[in-house]
Amino acid sequence: MASAAPSPSTSPVTTLITSVADSAFVIAFFTAILYLAGASFQHAYYARFGINPALLATTSIGIAVEGANAILFTASAWLFAILPILVVASLAALLSAYLDKRRVAVSSPPLYTSVAITAVRVLAITLTLLIVGFAGDIAGAS
């Protein structure tokens, strides 16, 4: 009789390194988003006056702070613009969950697959990046 091999346990050092790397990735990702919004804000704002923002002495931190301001000041406008999409997506998720329960009752395969979930995640990240990128342009142009 063959017994299953025990799963290797992770050491506390490996767990610590993994959690630090994950945290660093998240911080770098959000910093990049803030910088993208700030750079697009500066470009749109100074372009209104015919000034090249590359000629100005600004720091990366200043650009990221302007990006945070651009995102915060345009968040309500973006929420109002995408609210119908969010409502339709929520209703579609509820409907598909209901249909999944009905399909399980009659022994059919579920509607959700790992490919569909991954596609939705990629779409959500892409939309988030587009909204952040355009937030700076909108805040700078207004």
pLDDT in tens, 12-51: 777 777 777 777 777 888 888 888 888 888 888 888 888 8
Give the other-Cβ count within 10 Å of 64's Cβ.
Answer: 20
Per-residue confidence (pLDDT) for residue 128, from 0 to 100: 73
Residue 141 or residue 28, greater confidence: 28
- The per-residue pLDDT for range 56-88, each reduced to its tens digit, is 888 888 888 888 888 777 766 666 767 777 777
pTM: 0.53
